[in-house]
């Protein structure tokens, strides 16, 4: 058990490419921290540096207070789970899991006891004498986990461990990883590009963007107070809707019509340095769940703008209904939006498409006009030139 401190870590590859740029992050003992971001953001490189598989160009990495920059991976006492599982194909499950203990020259009885304990924990007991090739994807994933936990390392590093599993198994293993970590209370750094895993697994989530940390916080913080368009668009599924707005006479002019700012928004706008230099355009971010079918009794009497749209596509999921509609105005041009890989955050749709998450009792129909209500108390405002949230202060 140990804490891990990344102190102004930089990784520059021999070809000059900077993969990780001055990254600082303190991971407490027993904490479950997620590094999340689109591909190429440096999250795997960061993990490899913690493991010792990549050299650190600059900065200091401390595990349990000790600088380990130049320690070989084997001397760091950490375990890693790879995306490919990296099971040794020529060894049985038992010997795969025993491998770290065998290398550490532990007594045979201890190895047996610990392997069997881990196997029981992961439901692998009856597979101990099989080879990895004879196992299913989920079982292989479990063996990889078993190999990591069997020697009680100071920390677990997991590099997209679930991304090779099918959706159902992934959800199942996600809860299992979570349960395992809660039970063992071992410091864990988990890399993923899947925002669902990030939101559900971690104590804290660090969103990475081109080698830098964009925001660190609990999943709830990231969701409710994203510091930038990038984080806002990455966290949450379906993704936040971004729409252009202008500030005129103290009123927000949006494609839905004017919105009179409430106290919170007024305070944000007042603090905004853009207003001081005479800029008027903003980006408004709205989570899909802050729309509602205006005809529903739950929202009939609530204040807030109502507007009429035509539903393009309706996706009834049972628990929710997603309604897609298009607004005349273009998609908000904001710094950071383009970097979200297409498809990854649901931004691949046509320009100006908005998604609303409605109550399943809603009677909307595809192709028909409908009245939508907007809850303005959860609006996010971003500066289009920097992509930063007005709530985040200067970035």
Is the separation of the CB atoms in 50 and 6 below 8 Å? yes
State how far the Cα of 69 lies from the Cα of 5, in Å rounded to an integer. 11
State how far the Cα of 377 lies from the Cα of 384, in Å rounded to an integer. 21
Between 99 and 256, CB nearer to another protein: 99
Tell me which of 16, 65, 89, 318 binds another protein, using CB under 8 A.
89
Strand order of the sheet with strand 18-27?
18-27, 4-12, 58-63, 66-67
Region near another protein per CB under 8 A, out of 47-55, 208-216, 245-253, 306-314: 47-55
Does 64 bind another protein (CB under 8 A)? Our answer is: no
Site for another protein in 150-209 (CB under 8 A): 151, 157
Between 4 and 227, CB nearer to another protein: 4
Is the separation of the CB atoms in 329 and 255 below 8 Å? yes
Q: How many residues bind another protein (CB under 8 A)?
A: 26
State how far the Cα of 369 lies from the Cα of 386, in Å rounded to an integer. 36
What does the block give as tokens for 251?
Answer: 């009123």
The DSSP H or E segment spanning 384 is none
What helix, strand, coil percent values describe the chain, rounded to 5? 30, 30, 40
Tell me which of 80, 240, 284, 327 binds another protein, using CB under 8 A.
80
Does 32 bind another protein (CB under 8 A)? Our answer is: no
Does 100 bind another protein (CB under 8 A)? Our answer is: yes
Tell me which of 18, 28, 53, 296 binds another protein, using CB under 8 A.
53
Does 274 bind another protein (CB under 8 A)? Our answer is: no
Does 71 bind another protein (CB under 8 A)? Our answer is: no
Tell me which of 18, 28, 51, 335 binds another protein, using CB under 8 A.
51
Does 52 bind another protein (CB under 8 A)? Our answer is: yes
DSSP line for 316-338 = E-SS-EEEEEE-SSPPP--TTTT
State how far the Cα of 190 lies from the Cα of 158, in Å rounded to an integer. 5
Tell me which of 4, 25, 34, 78 binds another protein, using CB under 8 A.
78
Q: Beta strand pairing status for 204-209 and 32-36?
A: parallel
* Nearest one of 99, 78, 101, 97 to 147, comparing CA atoms: 97
Region near another protein per CB under 8 A, out of 44-52, 163-171, 192-200, 275-283: 44-52
Tell me which of 13, 70, 88, 310 binds another protein, using CB under 8 A.
88
Integer CA distances (angstroms), 98 to 117, 118, 180, in order:
12, 10, 19
Residues of 105-129 as b/e, b for ≥16 C-beta within 10 angstroms?
A: ebeeeebeebbbebbebbebeebbe
Between 53 and 341, CB nearer to another protein: 53
Region near another protein per CB under 8 A, out of 67-75, 238-246, 284-292, 329-337: 67-75
State how far the Cα of 119 lies from the Cα of 380, in Å rounded to an integer. 47
Region near another protein per CB under 8 A, out of 46-54, 56-64, 278-286, 372-380: 46-54
Minimum separation from the CB atom of position 358 to another protein (A):
44
What does the block give as tokens for 158?
Answer: 């997991």
What does the block give as tokens for 238?
Answer: 């379906």
Region near another protein per CB under 8 A, out of 70-78, 114-122, 189-197, 207-215: 70-78
Minimum separation from the CB atom of position 39 to another protein (A):
17
State how far the Cα of 241 lies from the Cα of 15, in Å rounded to an integer. 38
Does 99 bind another protein (CB under 8 A)? Our answer is: yes
What are phi and psi for residue 101, nearest 5 degrees? -75, -40
Minimum separation from the CB atom of position 52 to another protein (A):
8
Region near another protein per CB under 8 A, out of 82-90, 245-253, 254-262, 359-367: 82-90
Tell me which of 1, 104, 260, 313 binds another protein, using CB under 8 A.
104
* Residues at the site binding another protein, with contacts judged by CB under 8 A: 14, 48, 51-53, 72-74, 78-80, 82-84, 86-90, 99-100, 103-104, 147, 151, 157
């Amino acid at each position: 058990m140990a804490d891990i401190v990344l102190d102004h870590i930089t990784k520059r590859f021999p070809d000059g490419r900077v993969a990780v740029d001055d990254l600082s992050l303190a991971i407490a003992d027993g904490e479950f921290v997620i590094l999340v971001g689109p591909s190429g953001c440096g999250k795997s490189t960061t993990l490899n540096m913690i493991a010792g598989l990549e050299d650190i160009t600059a900065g200091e990495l401390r595990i349990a207070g000790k600088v380990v920059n130049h320690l070989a991976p084997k001397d760091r006492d950490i375990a890693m789970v790879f995306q490919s599982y990296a099971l040794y194909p020529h060894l049985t499950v038992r010997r795969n899991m025993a491998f770290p203990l065998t290398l550490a020259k532990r007594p045979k009885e201890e190895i047996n006891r610990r392997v069997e304990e881990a196997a029981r924990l992961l439901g692998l007991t009856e597979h101990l004498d099989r080879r990895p090739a004879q196992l299913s994807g989920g079982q292989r994933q479990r063996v990889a986990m078993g190999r990591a936990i069997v020697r009680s390392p100071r920390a677990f590093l997991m590099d997209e461990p679930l991304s090779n599993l099918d959706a159902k198994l992934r959800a199942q293993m996600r809860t299992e990883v979570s349960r395992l970590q809660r039970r063992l209370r071992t410091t864990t750094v988990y890399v993923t590009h899947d925002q669902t895993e990030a939101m559900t697994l971690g104590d804290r989530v660090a969103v990475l963007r081109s080698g830098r940390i964009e925001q660190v916080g609990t999943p709830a913080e990231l969701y409710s107070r994203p510091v930038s368009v990038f984080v806002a668009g990455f966290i949450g599924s379906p993704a936040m809707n971004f729409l252009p707005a202008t500030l005129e006479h103290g009123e927000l002019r949006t494609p839905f019509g004017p919105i009179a700012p409430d106290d919170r928004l007024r305070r944000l706008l007042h603090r905004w340095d853009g207003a001081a230099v005479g800029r008027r355009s903003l980006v408004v971010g709205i989570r899909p769940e802050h729309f509602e079918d205006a005809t529903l009794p739950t929202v009939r009497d609530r204040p807030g703008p109502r507007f009429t749209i035509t539903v393009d596509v309706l996706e009834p999921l049972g628990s929710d209904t997603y309604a897609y509609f298009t607004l005349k105005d273009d998609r908000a041009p904001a710094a950071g939006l383009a970097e979200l890989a297409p498809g990854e955050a649901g931004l691949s749709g046509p320009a100006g498409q908005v998604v609303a998450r409605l109550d399943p009792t809603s009677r909307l129909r595809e192709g028909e006009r409908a009245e939508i209500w907007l809850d303005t108390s959860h609006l996010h405002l971003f500066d289009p030139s920097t992509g930063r949230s007005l709530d985040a202060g200067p970035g």
